[in-house]
Amino acid sequence: MANYDPNDPNKTTVRETYVEPVEKRSSPLPLIIGILLALALAYFVLTRFMGNDEEVVTEETTEATIVEEDADADAVEAEVAADDAEEAAADAEAAADEAAAETEEAVEDAAAATEETAEDAAAATEEAAEDTAAAADNAVEATGEAASDAADATADAASDAVDATGEAASDAADAVGDAASDAADAVDDAVDNADDAVVIEEEPATTN
């Protein structure tokens, strides 16, 4: 087993990459609470030592001064933290206002688009209804015209049939009349001929 020599110049040095930590902004509430506790402690200490002036010594006065300076420094830090918190609150409020304005604008745009779409749909529906009504009117008119034409044609056909029937009946009556007249004439002629054909024969007288 080889011995490890830390002073060996040929050793391989592992270089570490330094990664800078990302500073995260924490809430100022714990700092404010700590400052308030420090102020309360300082007030308690000052009140205790200032209430009994006879027992105060130089060393205690020095410690009180140090505590007061620390309290002042903590107060300054607390004020800075409060300013930062106020600035962060202002930024958050501005961001909220901007987001609200954008949301309101988006809602208005959506409402306008919806209204426009509804108006277009209503107009299209109305136009389609008008077209349908016009088509129905045209169909009714065409049906009425067709029915009228059919009725006229039927009436004409019936009139023609009646006229033809009347003419046929008249022709038949004329033909019957002519036939009857011819038959009567024929009978008269036949009777005349028969009379002409009858000959009266006289018997000769017999001489006894």
Between residues 59 and 98, the one the model is more confident about: 98
Q: Return the higher-pLDDT residue of 138 and 205.
A: 138
Average pLDDT on 58-85 reads: 71
> Is the pLDDT at 56 greater than 50, yes or no?
no
Is the pTM higher than 0.95? The answer reads no
Residue 57 pLDDT greater than 80, yes or no = no
Query: Is the confidence at residue 55, as pLDDT, over 80?
Result: no
Query: Which residue do the tokens 């087993």 mark?
Result: 1
Q: Distance between CA atoms of 61 and 7, rounded to whole angstroms?
A: 54
Contact status, residue 26 vs residue 81, Cβ threshold 8 Å: no
From residue 54, give the alpha-carbon distance in Å to each of 59, 135, 169.
14, 116, 164
- For residues 48-59, average pLDDT: 60
Q: Are 42 and 68 in contact (CB under 8 A)?
A: yes
Q: Mind listing the pLDDT tens digit for each residue in 101-119?
A: 888 888 888 888 888 888 8
Reported as a pLDDT band with limits 50, 70 and 90, residue 180 is: confident
User: How confident is the model over 2-34, as pLDDT tens digits?
Assistant: 566 667 666 665 556 666 666 666 677 888 899
pLDDT for res 187: 83
Per-residue pLDDT, 154: 85
- CA–CA dist 131, 124 (Å, integer): 10
What percentage of the chain carries pLDDT values higher than 90?
Answer: 5
- The tokens 């830390």 sit on which residue? 6
Q: What is the mean pLDDT of residues 130-144?
A: 87
